[in-house]
């Protein structure tokens, strides 16, 4: 239950303010990544151990992103790109029989390179798609409604963040 509520919260925050609060988005990506990958590497069940491990990793990642900035965002974009390639098609009811870990790595590398080249645009795109995916995964809808909700949320997130980027003051010394 805690994980579901936190995933929905991360989805909403990522969707609306992923670029403006990029350190919080990075912490959310780290939480989601740790939540899904920790059971593969450690003997963690679906209980509170997994939740608190993922939460701790997310908090540390958010703190490091707050300190280091774009370098940490680029590193975590690797996981966001891979997560989107894996989870977005299955969430939307599309086939995933083509999936291989090499595609995860390629998507992660592409996302990292895009963040390094076009920080604002790529972060808006990644955070909107990640937020829409998390929200649609959490809310139970039919397959037809999932596709409509996903694309409506993704477009809403991109437009909202683009507008906020124009009016939200950036930190001193931060390039936009």
Tokens for 119? 């920080």
Tokens for 125? 């795109």
- The alpha helices in 92-142, defined as continuous H runs, are 101-117, 119-138
Q: What is the pLDDT at residue 26?
A: 92
Domain range list for the chain: 2-167
Q: How far is residue 145 from each of residues 85, 91, 93, 122, 149, measured CA to CA in Å? A: 20, 12, 11, 26, 6
Tell me the whole-structure pTM to 2 decimals: 0.86
d(CA 102, CA 92): 21
pLDDT in tens, the chain (176 residues): 677 888 898 899 999 988 888 899 999 999 988 888 777 777 766 677 788 888 899 999 999 998 988 899 999 999 999 889 888 887 777 777 777 889 889 999 999 999 999 999 999 999 999 999 999 988 877 777 888 999 999 999 999 999 998 887 655 445 54
């Amino acid at each position: 239950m805690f994980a579901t509520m936190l995933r929905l919260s991360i989805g909403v925050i990522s969707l609306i303010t992923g670029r403006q609060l990029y350190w919080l988005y990075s912490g959310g990506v780290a939480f989601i990544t740790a939540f899904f990958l920790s059971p593969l590497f450690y003997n963690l069940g679906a209980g509170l151990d997994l939740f608190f491990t993922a939460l701790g990793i997310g908090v540390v990642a958010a703190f490091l992103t707050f300190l280091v900035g774009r370098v940490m965002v680029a590193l975590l974009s690797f996981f966001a790109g891979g997560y989107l390639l894996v989870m977005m098609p299955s969430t939307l009811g599309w086939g995933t029989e083509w999936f291989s870990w090499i595609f995860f790595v390629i998507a992660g590398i592409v996302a990292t390179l895009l963040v390094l080249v076009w920080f604002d645009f790529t972060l808006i795109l990644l955070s909107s798609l990640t937020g829409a995916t998390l929200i649609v995964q959490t809310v139970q809808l039919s397959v037809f409604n999932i596709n409509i909700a996903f694309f409506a949320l993704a477009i809403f997130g991109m437009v909202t963040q683009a507008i906020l980027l124009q009016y939200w003051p950036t930190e001193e010394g931060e390039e936009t």
